[in-house]
Structure 1
Amino acid sequence: MSAQPQHPWYSEEKLQSVSEKLRCRETQAGTVLSLMGEPYQLCYPSIFIYGHRATGKSHVMHTLMKELELPHATVSCVECVTVGLLFEQVLHSLFGSEASPLLPRTPSLSDFVRIYRQLCSQSPAKQTRYIVLERAELLRNMEVNLLPALLRLQELVEDNVTVILLSEIVWDKFRPSTGCFEPLLIHFTDYTKAELQHILDQESHPSYSPELYSAFINILLGVFYCVCRDLRELRHLAALNFSKYCEPLEEGNVKESETHKLWRNIEPHLKKAMQTVYLREVSSVQWEQQQQMEEKEAGAMRGLSAHGHVELPYYSKFLLIAAYLASFNPARTDKRFFLKHHGKIKKTNFLKKHEKTSNHLLGPKPFPLDRLLAIFYSVVDSRVAPSASIFSQISSLVTLQLLTLVGHDDQLDSPKYKCGVSLDFIRAISRTVNFDIVKYLYDFL
């Protein structure tokens, strides 16, 4: 670790262990150690560490606290839905079971300060205590006086304690409008492509050579680095796709040196995975099962797009089915398909001449929102009340490019949409909800 000579109060073995576990974050770890100072000296009251998701903020702090054996409390603000839970976790982590009998049912800020002082008087600190708050931006949604109090907690409790806030937003957007004590700021930059390559190379598969895995990571970063620099997401993608990358090697058709052939085999699978970056609709096991199912049912599933790997919510599937029916069925057929007691209507009597042409050859046609909802409420099994959830799922389908918004957002009449999926895709979606869509398509009568 480059900062090792600057911190003689820590043993060489501990610093070496920290250096091995914090690859490509030695500079940031050295900066944090410099601000923390010696374990027995008074430290700065608060430190604000910010950076994008998966830039090593929590990992660096967890490693420093654990390897250097510093007294600390690490609390995730996501788990603490109330201020009382936050105070309880901090006191239990720092003082153990001694805090339990002193805690009221819902401790307030004044209770927290009083109990902290009482416990400090019983067991004075030999080292600086640290309170690490992950996802600290959520503190802004809690009580107004909480954040200013935490930033100057050292003064309130009269103890050598430092509060370290970890956040994904900058301090200018974090600072309370009423003003507060200014913490020290540390920025964790994104990993560069070379740093990601170096980190991921260390996780090579034991059954294959490090050179092969490094070549695979190089291909993976070449595809995903422009859209994703999240280390956790890239690890997930590497775990999903490495077995597929090695399939030609296991079959004996390709040698490790034939990188181009290995690339041709993995390219279509990486393109499919590109559509599910940051989406966790499917787990790794489900992804592998879907890959195997595609190979077994190549004829039936060949027409599916990359969206076939996105597991949609239940009602979103019916919304997509309704959108497909609205795009490929003439509007005049809705009465026949979706209205009970419509009577006998012949196909040639109620359609115009140009509507007798196959709609699947002409392509999808735009339809208004009210028609989509009318078909949706007709085909869905259970009664569904119109709610914001239904409309938000329509927006999600547009975001996933399964539906296309036609026209401008500022138009006076209701918005119009087009369905952008293939027949094979919608049949696969329909099978998951036991809906026979062919019976409702005019072209297949």
Structure 2
Amino acid sequence: MSTFFNLPNELMLNALCSRFPCRDQQIRSLATLISIRSAPCRNIVLHGLEATGKTSITKVVLDELSKKQTNGHVNNNAADDDDIRYAVIKSAECIGGRHLFEQTIGAVATAIDWPESVGRCENLAQLLVQLSKLVEGRSGSSHNGRQQRLAIVFDGIDRQRDAPPTLLPALARLTEIIPNLTTIFIVTSPRPNFLHLPGVPHIEFPTYTKPELIQIISLTTPSPPVPQGTKETKEVWTRYCSAIWDSLSKHSGRDILSFRAVCLRLWPRFIRPILDGQLNPSPFSRLLVANRSLFQNDSVLVPSLVSNAPHSSSLVPQTQQSNLQGIATQLPHISRLLLVASYLASYNPPRTDSTFFMKAALAKRRKKGGGTALSRKPGIGKSRKIARKLLGPQAFVLERMLAIFYAIGEDADSLPGQGKKSKRKELRNLSGSADVLMAVATLVSLRLLIRMGGPNQDVLDAATKYRIAIGWEVARGVARSVGVEVEDYLAD
């Protein structure tokens, strides 16, 4: 007779623990809370810093439990009848709440092999209806007595862009309405009771200690190897990683990814005396003395950390973060013009648009030598004490920014490989094109533009307002890269 409670297959757990060292407790806890015949939970929270194995372990555990040949338990009774399906949704790939709901429905439909097309999903109510439809349709097509479960993983949900404050509690409430559903939230640092539900199990993924890091990194095979053999290579590599941690990564390496990148980066230079035949692998102290300059110079450490860290801007000095002149060479021509137009729309009052951007007014200003200031009355220029470019940016609507974009586009440099006529034709063809809106959405995703309004406001709404997020120096550099002088269009 089959029992109500069975632990997951021990062979499967041992294989996973050997694959992910130093994470035995997390693997066994997660497998028990997901497995159908163990202790399945409605909601599970996995939390920990970056590069601690949360996402990788979750995917592997769900993948093993979804296989029939490994979905056994201690007693192996009726285990082949269990059916676990899962869907992983990455919040980093979703540009908004509606996109998150669409991705969730699409991932679930793919996971359960839904034969029909799914409908639109624009809010939480439609998400509940669509998920209920998919789960009920899957249960109705199954055999009687077969136990099924669906797991939805929201990876990085605490960093979801434009998320309403009720998003996480609402997602946690889905399991109360939809049967046989498990929701897994992968976050960095959860707030107390952030799901507004009591009794939600939390599994912590702590940062790796030095012995754990050395144990994991020692499984990596460095290149090139030491000529003396595999055993000597492993011994030198282990002691070398310990020295790297004590001298460099202990204070600046935040995770295992940056630590491994630094070790692999410096390894060829460290064993160069061995490859040249000057030294032997032992004693190891001679290698340290010969490479003491390598451990004293931390300039080789910064590129590895910046290229491998998930949020590399936090590792770059503040003076380098403020220098964003590289935007002029990384953004396309149209995106740079949109960025300049956004800056002008943020810092120019709407009443000055007819003065600066109408063709007749522009020709008149050029004819007089750029002097709308000549027509001012005495005393008006002295009333303003702070330059407008030093004031904070103001919000603007999308239509006004696009009008400025087409006005300054005719005065900008031609597109690469095009003349002035083809440039005007190109601007006319862009009128109403989705490429412009896509470029605006890209600038918003890069945090160069900030979308104003409430969290539930539609991105495609015409009344949506934006605000520029760059300063005067960056705007002037970007404008000059496309042949526009911001000073000619900026109000005093």
TM category (shorter chain) comes to 0.5 to 0.7
Q: 1:364 aligns to what?
A: none
**Residues 1:280 and 2:307 aligned together:** yes
Q: CA deviation at 1:281?
A: 9.6
In structure 1, what is the Cα distance between the partners aligned to 2:119 and 2:109? 12
* Aligned-partner residue type, residue 242 of structure 1: W
**Residues 1:315 and 2:316 aligned together:** no
TM alignment of 1:211-250, pairs within 5 A = 211-223=235-247, 224-250=249-275
Q: CA deviation at 1:255?
A: 0.5
Q: 1:34 aligns to what?
A: 32
Q: 1:110 aligns to what?
A: 125
Q: RMSD across aligned C-alpha pairs, in angstroms?
A: 3.7
In structure 1, what is the Cα distance between the partners aligned to 2:106 and 2:156? 20
Q: CA deviation at 1:390?
A: 5.0
Please, which of 37, 42, 47 is the counterpart of residue 44 of structure 2?
A: 47
Q: CA deviation at 1:249?
A: 1.1
Q: 2:214 aligns to what?
A: 197
Q: CA deviation at 1:12?
A: 3.7
Q: 1:175 aligns to what?
A: 194
Q: CA deviation at 1:316?
A: 7.5
> Aligned in 2, Cα 1:32/1:10: closer, same or farther, shift over 3 Å?
closer
* Aligned-partner residue type, residue 236 of structure 2: L
**Structure 2 stretches of 5 or more lacking a match?**
67-83, 227-232, 310-315, 329-389, 391-412, 414-467, 475-492
Measured against aligned partners, the alpha-carbon deviations of 1:246-271 in whole angstroms (never above 9, x if no partner) come to: 11111111110132332234443342
Q: CA deviation at 1:56?
A: 1.6
* Aligned-partner residue type, residue 65 of structure 2: L
Q: CA deviation at 1:31?
A: 2.1
In structure 1, what is the Cα distance between the partners aligned to 2:128 and 2:198? 17
Q: 1:298 aligns to what?
A: none
The 3-state SS of whatever aligns with 2:184 is strand
Q: 1:335 aligns to what?
A: none
Please, which of 107, 110, 127 is the counterpart of residue 148 of structure 2?
A: 127
Q: 2:104 aligns to what?
A: 90
> Aligned in 2, Cα 1:204/1:116: closer, same or farther, shift over 3 Å?
same
Q: 1:23 aligns to what?
A: 21
**Residues 1:162 and 2:162 aligned together:** no
Q: CA deviation at 1:165?
A: 0.9
CA contact (8 A) 1:148 1:181 kept: no
CA contact (8 A) 1:134 1:165 kept: yes
In structure 2, what is the Cα distance between the partners aligned to 1:216 and 1:56? 24
**Residues 1:264 and 2:289 aligned together:** yes
In structure 1, what is the Cα distance between the partners aligned to 2:12 and 2:257? 26
Measured against aligned partners, the alpha-carbon deviations of 1:150-176 in whole angstroms (never above 9, x if no partner) come to: 11211132x21111111111323x727
**Structure 1 stretches of 5 or more lacking a match?**
1-6, 283-305, 319-372, 374-381, 394-445
Q: How many residues align?
A: 293
Q: CA deviation at 1:85?
A: 2.6
Q: CA deviation at 1:121?
A: 1.8
* Aligned-partner residue type, residue 279 of structure 1: V
The 3-state SS of whatever aligns with 1:71 is strand
CA contact (8 A) 2:261 2:305 kept: no
Measured against aligned partners, the alpha-carbon deviations of 1:30-58 in whole angstroms (never above 9, x if no partner) come to: 2223333x425773221111111112211
Please, which of 39, 46, 62 is the counterpart of residue 65 of structure 1?
A: 62
Q: CA deviation at 1:22?
A: 1.6
* Aligned-partner residue type, residue 25 of structure 2: T
In structure 2, what is the Cα distance between the partners aligned to 1:8 and 1:44? 15
TM-score for the superposition, normalised by structure 2: 0.52
**Residues 1:137 and 2:162 aligned together:** no
Q: CA deviation at 1:210?
A: 0.9
* Aligned-partner residue type, residue 31 of structure 1: S
> Aligned in 2, Cα 1:18/1:41: closer, same or farther, shift over 3 Å?
closer
Q: CA deviation at 1:317?
A: 12
> Aligned in 2, Cα 1:311/1:253: closer, same or farther, shift over 3 Å?
farther
